[in-house]
Amino acid sequence: MQRLKSLRIIQGMKRDELAEKLGVSYGTIAALEQGSVEPKASHLLKLSSIFNVSIDYLLENEKEIKIIYEKRTRN
């Protein structure tokens, strides 16, 4: 989730602070930011509340990246 890291940095929040607010480990935040794990629906709801953004906003780049990747791998 590329936007997660940007939002966190803009708010001046460290990974461990966000992890505490979200109720997950530091490693989970790192994995979410790197895109190595998919966020749970409950995490998306909490993140949208923490940063006051929509779930669509959080996932927007991810959808675009997946579409581009799928098109490239088909050709």
> In the chain, where are the structural domains located?
2-74
Q: 43-60, pLDDT tens digit by residue?
A: 999 999 999 998 888 887
pLDDT confidence of residue 29? 97
pLDDT confidence of residue 42? 94
Question: Could you tell me the pTM of the whole model?
Answer: 0.77
Q: 29-48, pLDDT tens digit by residue?
A: 999 999 899 899 999 999 99
**Do 62 and 6 meet the contact criterion of CB atoms below 8 Å apart?**
no
d(CA 27, CA 71): 31
* Nearest-10 crossing angle of helices 2-10, 26-34: 120
Is the domain spanning 2-74 CATH 1.10.260.40? The answer is yes
**Which carries the bigger pLDDT value, residue 69 or residue 19?**
19
Determine the 3-state secondary structure of 63 from DSSP. Answer: helix
